Amino acid sequence: MNTPVDPTAARADYYRRIAASHLTPLWESMAALVPHAPRSPAVAHCWRYADLRDALLESGTLITAREAVRRVLILENPGLAGSSAITPSLYAGLQLILPGEIAPSHRHTQSALRLVVEGSRAFTAVDGERVTMHPGDFIITPSWTWHDHGSDADGPVVWLDGLDIPLVRFLDCGFAENLGDDVQPLLRPEGDALARYGSGLMPVGFVPAHGTSPVFAYPYARTRDALRQLARANSVDPHDGIRLAFVNPATGGPAIPTIGTTVQWLPAGFDGRPRRATDGTVFHCIEGEGEARIGDHVFTFAPHDTFVAPSWQATSLHAARETVLFAFSDRPVQQALHLWREERLA
Ligand code: GTQ
């Protein structure tokens, strides 16, 4: 068959006709469907805590934690408007709980992490055990485990939530239910999981019930001690500083099956080399201050700021002071599927 001299009109007419049968021509979208390299719809962005804290606290005057179920301001990527996503696969938000409040117990197939931003003496109960929150603590809610939050603090408590909501939505495998009671029964004393699974020890014959780390709370005091000790070793990666992954001690794998989590220490004056990877990554500054260069963007960051680096955008980190960053991404998912790639640039 010969191609018409001016194919445009004939093709447009053809596309209109086949559209009625829910058919579309691959050749018009080939380059977008099978790109040479990731071209993320997400954009680099930084949420400065000092700029949003007042608005977050104001939410506490407008709705209770009970009515909201979870009183959270979602950090929505400007390139993903309407999707409640910070990267195509991940969700992030800042959750506020006020003295005496309770966020009632529920469970869902989405996995969640918390990184405590400010305030002490809020608590979360996960699967029968309560943990008291302190700034910098990393806490996990495994898929399909009951969890409720509360606060005995005398001021606001805020934490960063990270969930695999967009991934679970993409896979169409989301389930959720409410317990009915505000709080779940506590089955073990506080500190049980850390002692039992997080002390370089493991119960003899332990068989994991699920893929998530049985250590569901990693206190910042311990993490910081590890980083302080390693900082003395003087072997700092030129791209990452000293970067450690939170792991499931029962498997050596990621602490959360769908979300990779790390903490990294950068010495004062660190001038990191750029790297890029296919896992779009959310960073949160726990301590210190510096600059993140992501693609064409440059952001200065300070404590409690959260910034996002989309897939395959060159990212370098620079620290004005000694700095600790928390980060999360979908790296374990990509690695399980043999899709993850990284490039370390000069
Ligand atoms: O704390 O259970 O930011 O279910 C979003 C959904 C937090 C939570 C979020 C949730 C939660």
Residue 46 to residue 84: CA distance in whole angstroms: 16
The answer to the question of residue 1 being in a domain is no
Quote the percentage of the chain above a pLDDT of 90: 97
Q: Which pTM value belongs to this model?
A: 0.97
The answer to the question of residue 312 being in a domain is yes
Q: How many other C-beta atoms are found inside a 10 Å radius of the C-beta of residue 124? A: 26
For ligand 1, the distance from its centroid to the CA atom of residue 206, given in whole angstroms, is 29
Residue 31 to residue 15: CA distance in whole angstroms: 18
Residue 72 to residue 62: CA distance in whole angstroms: 12
The answer to the question of residue 155 being in a domain is yes
The answer to the question of residue 165 being in a domain is yes
- Which CATH number do you get for residue 200? 2.60.120.10
> Which helix (H) or strand (E) is 228 found in, with range?
helix 220-231
- Protein residues whose CB sits closer than 6 Å to any atom of ligand 1: 70, 72, 93, 95, 108, 112, 147, 161, 163
Place of tokens 């980083």: 227
Probe target for ligand 1 pocket from 111, 163, 164, 306, with the most ligand atoms within 8 Å of CB: 163
The answer to the question of residue 12 being in a domain is no
Structural domain span for residue 161? 42-344
The answer to the question of residue 9 being in a domain is no
Whether the CB-CB separation of 307 and 317 falls below 8 Å is answered with no
The answer to the question of residue 80 being in a domain is yes
Please give the distance of CA 313 from its chain centroid, rounded to a whole number.
18
Q: What share of the chain is helix, strand, coil (3-state, %, to 5)?
A: 20, 30, 45
Q: Say what the alpha-carbon torsion angle 222, 223, 224, 227 is, to the nearest 10 degrees.
A: 120
For atom 11 of ligand 1, which residue has the closest CA? 70
pLDDT at 7: 87
Total structural domains in the chain?
1
The answer to the question of residue 206 being in a domain is yes
Q: Is 174 exposed, middle or buried (0-12, 13-18, 19+ CB in 10 A)?
A: middle
Positive or negative: CA dihedral 300, 304, 305, 306: positive
Nearest to 46 by CA among 308, 320, 327, 329: 308
Residue 233 to residue 253: CA distance in whole angstroms: 25
pLDDT at 345: 97
**What are the residues whose beta carbons fall under 8 Å from the beta carbon of 290, sequence distance 6 or more?**
266, 270, 300, 301, 317, 318, 319, 320, 321, 323
The mean pLDDT values, 10 residues at a time, for the chain of 346 residues are: 76 97 97 96 98 98 97 98 98 98 97 97 97 98 97 97 98 98 97 97 94 97 97 92 98 97 98 98 98 98 98 98 99 98 97
For atom 6 of ligand 1, which residue has the closest CA? 70
